[in-house]
Structure 1
Amino acid sequence: MHDDLNWAVLGTGVIANEMAQGLQKMGKSLYSVANRTHQKAVDFAEKYQIKKVYDQIDEMFEDENVDIIYLTTPHNTHYEFMKKALEHGKHLLVEKSITLNSRELEEMIDLAKEKNLVLAEAMTIWHMPIYKKLWEIVKSGELGKVQIITMNFGSFKEYNMSNRFFNMNLAGGAMLDIGVYALSIVRSFMDETPDEIASQWKASPTGSDEQATVLLKNSLGQMATVALSMHSKQPKRAMISCEKGYIEIMEYPRASKAVLVDAETGKQTELACGDTANALYYEMTDMEKTVKNRMHADKNDSQDEMHLAYTRDVMAIMTRLRKDWGMKYPGENWD
């Protein structure tokens, strides 16, 4: 494998467009594209001056010039595509939610390990500069221990039962679509993963999770509350309460600002870091760094800028919640 890594994208939707633009910011362009509807791939290639368009999706996995594949298809398709890509020796960046459940993810982690490949979820939170800064602040102890985290995320989606937000055949529902962001924040600010979990949920007319409230606690006594909704609007708000103050983050999936509030004086300090518009650029820069580390280091020693361990913990929580609710997707195997 060469140092100038070749990226391919599977899918041509909103994220694929952002990804192509993110690569341009890196001074690169996409090597190739594939899509279920071939004409969409042709149009996408024309838009971004991509030389290679595959007639069949499988050709992407078989192309020896492809180093990293960004998988942007609906999450119910991820497992099969991931398996083929890893078997053919491709590093993988996969849109959230990376898989449907922990069984699928564990299987893919094992396969990536066996092939010494980087497997990662495209979770913007791991890569935005504001979070790297906030984790440093929290780790330094200047705010004291993290005590309780409060997360909100709600979208008002019309009851169109054929779209991906409610369609069970497309793995619809709040947990895998927006809950994954909220739980990723929770996990990244907790010192250990939560092991006590309680929840309530409300099903949409299709049986997908339309609304949920989740309580989480770990062995250190750190707690979190998460409120999710697919048919009522809420702010994308995160509040991390520590002993000596709290951090408030709005629009948290791609945040570039946070407010730190001192517990004693109430003094507010605004922190600005990074740019929301560069979310995919940060993500792919970290992915390249991790892949290059893996290429040039002992496989057990290479640094993971992609936080797969957090992704794994979050997936375990989401799987446990859906098992509690009995909310299984058609044909899903989670055991």
Structure 2
Amino acid sequence: SMGTNLLVVRPGAPGVRSSGEIATLTTADAEAIRLEVPNVAAIAPARSSATTLRYGNIDYRTQVEGTWPSLPAVRDWNMAEGGFFTEADLNGYAPVIVLGQTVVDALFPDSGDPVGKYVLVGNIPFEVVGILEPKGAAAFGRDQDDIAYVPITTGFMRLFGQQYANSITAKVTNSDFVDDTETAIHTLLLARHRTEDFQIRNTASMLETLESMSNTMTILLGSVAAISLLVGGIGVMNIMLVSVTERTREIGLRMATGARMSNILVQFNTEALVVCGVGGMIGVLLGISVAYVLSSAGMNIAINAMPSILAFICAFLTGLVFGYLPARKAAQLDPVVALASE
């Protein structure tokens, strides 16, 4: 959603400040990348300009961007109302427009449904076919919702007066191979243009930052979980030691009637496993129940079977590890001393 799996191609040679007025990228370049470069899930060229939109007596100046119908897939951007324009709209030069939430709030302050209404883009009427979900600010504070999208073919013909793109954005399928994909795009465009009159920007640094944050949180939460298991294990061990002390005569009686050390060891280890296993099952059921309650209250909760299974296994292993010492102590008791104890 933040665009950590995107490659952005911009016009202009490396080292030259990219400008929308450099006519080196075309929609044909985007089509070539889509067809010939592996690991590209979706691609969208774009051409934009600042334009005044009007509805009724309200004027609002915003960024109008011509693009392909694949933009929602590239940007992971869902629709709040209506739908995005289609391939038929793109091929038919349809005068349709999709608005960001900031533009909707400015042009339709009465909160009426804008879908199906017409807004003037410059002096040309465009039908509103969809409203994008609010996306918020970009990494450097730009309002991503302050934008309107039209088919790029319509924009070329009626709005921009130019037949080239400001940028081409490609969404990679597997972020692990983003560098290879960048190299493939560079090779393809270099062969098409016969000169390096483009720049490719890789958002891998943002991806690395987010992965680093995720790893840090994983280590932090894992440490908290490990400490919790240690404390719980010590509690189980204390309980089992108390149980051994209180049942010393019982242990001596079992030994006197033929029980071996291994029988005593298995008995108390089994008790520790049962205690931790039942506790683990109760914990898993309680966790799932709380998750469902929070989900019904409107929070986004993802329930996955694997963490629950791992949690139960950890509880079971805690009983096995921390129950061994009390079981070993019980198994090593002298039957004569055990029977004589009060």
TM class by smaller structure: under 0.3
Larger Cα Rg: Structure 1 or Structure 2?
2
Structure with the bigger percentage of strand: 1
Instruction: Provide TM-score, normalisation by structure 1.
Output: 0.21
Name the structure, 1 or 2, with higher relative contact order (CA <8 Å, separation 6+). Answer: 2
Structure with the bigger percentage of helix: 2
